[in-house]
């Protein structure tokens, strides 16, 4: 029984070492954003800016929004 347990532990250790060696390599290649995603990000940022500007315009004469 002890021998089987030792074999199991050694097997697990070797698998962990192999995983550590493989993890040093990049697991994937980073892809650039597509043009449609870039447009979507810009439009979301623009929408937020427009909303913030409209809120500030609605509060004319009142304390400014930080």
> What integer pLDDT is reported at residue 34 of this predicted model?
87
Main-chain dihedrals φ then ψ at residue 6, nearest 5 degrees = -60, -40
* pLDDT tens for each residue of the chain, 66 residues long: 678 888 888 998 888 888 777 666 666 677 788 888 889 999 999 999 999 999 888 877 766 565
Q: Which two tokens stand for residue 49?
A: 């800016």
3-state secondary structure of 34: coil
Cα separation, 66 vs 62, whole angstroms: 12
> What integer pLDDT is reported at residue 25 of this predicted model?
63
> What integer pLDDT is reported at residue 27 of this predicted model?
64
**Structural contact between residues 65 and 52, judged by C-beta atoms closer than 8 angstroms:** yes
């Amino acid at each position: 029984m002890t021998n089987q347990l030792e074999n199991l532990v050694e097997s697990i250790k070797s698998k962990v070492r192999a995983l550590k060696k493989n993890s040093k390599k990049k697991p994937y290649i980073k892809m650039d954003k597509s043009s449609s995603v870039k447009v979507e990000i810009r439009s979301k940022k623009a929408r937020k800016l427009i909303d913030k500007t409209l809120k500030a315009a609605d509060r004319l004469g009142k304390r400014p929004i930080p």
